[in-house]
Chain A
Amino acid sequence: MREMVLFFLIVVAGTAGELSVSRAMKSVGEVHDFRPKSILRFVLQSFRLRWMWVGTALMSLAFFSLLAILSFRQVSFVVPISALSYVAGAFGAKLFLRERISRNRWIGIAIVCLGVTIVWWTRG
């Protein structure tokens, strides 16, 4: 049960966090200049956006859940299970960012779910 709650937080809070950051990034605009000074300016600029803070908070929650679960489960078990974020990511991108999800991508997501199920059987 504790494990389920932690996985839920990793997947749902992690994905919601990434979606929020993605939303913030889109309003910052495209970055093509990778000099350290420009990157620093870009990071400072992003943190003036509310979505960036929401995203960071959610991703921190997911991160601490990940640490907790890694304290008693193998890395090669935990990380593949967290691939469930694809499912959450597809639904989130569709609903929240209005991205269009192609049929091929839905098939890929179904295969990811199958893989996650197989890894779950090796829980031991």
Chain B
Amino acid sequence: MPLILISIILGPLGNVFLGKGMKSVGPVTSARIMDLLPIISRVLTSEYIWLGIVCLMGFFVCHMLLLTWADYSYVQPATSLSYLSIAILSYLVLGEMISPLRWLGVTVICVGVLLVGRTSPSTSEAPEHA
């Protein structure tokens, strides 16, 4: 359970930092390698990107440890209450203006996620013979 809580905070925080970093890098509008090279170098030198990556790596390790004892289709929903925390964090940290309609959508996603999460941790089919 503590692992799930840690991943609910670390994952969204990582995404918020990535968002902040990428906004400072500038819009990626081309897929041509020559246009991407200067962007890649700006990405690699952005401290916010690295901060985000560290958060996401912490999240990834928690996630892997969880997956050793619980099935994927249980872990994914349980850690994904983070959709509410991502909205709150982007509002607080990035100052993103979130319209009432978007809050509604995020809340609906969380309701769906809660419903999905209320299932047993192990969902693999049991062996048919005793």
- The count of residues in chain A whose C-beta lies closer than 8 Å to any C-beta of chain B is 60
| A-B interface contact total, Cβ < 8 Å | 185
> How distant is the Cα of A99 from the Cα of B108 in the complex, in angstroms?
25
| Cβ A21 vs Cβ B64 within 8 A | yes
Which of A30, A70, A113 is within 8 Å of B19, CB to CB? A70
Nearest Cβ in chain A — how far from B122, in angstroms? 9
> How distant is the Cα of A79 from the Cα of B123 in the complex, in angstroms?
26
Q: Which of B99, B108, B114 has the most CB of A within 10 A?
A: B108
Q: Which of A39, A83, A114 has the most CB of B within 10 A?
A: A83
> How distant is the Cα of A29 from the Cα of B102 in the complex, in angstroms?
40
Please indicate the chain B residues that have their CB under 8 angstroms from the CB of A67 in the complex: 18, 22, 28, 43, 49
Whether A68 sits at the interface, judged by CB under 8 Å, is: yes
Please indicate the chain A residues that have their CB under 8 angstroms from the CB of B51 in the complex: none
* Given known A-B contacts A80-B83, A99-B124, A74 and B73 have beta carbons under 8 A apart: no
* Given known A-B contacts A67-B18, A79-B83, A119 and B73 have beta carbons under 8 A apart: no
Nearest Cβ in chain B — how far from A87, in angstroms? 10
A residues whose Cβ falls under 8 Å from a Cβ of B: 2, 18-19, 21-22, 25-26, 28-32, 34, 39, 42-43, 46, 66-68, 70-72, 74-80, 83, 85-86, 89-90, 93, 97-102, 104-105, 107-122
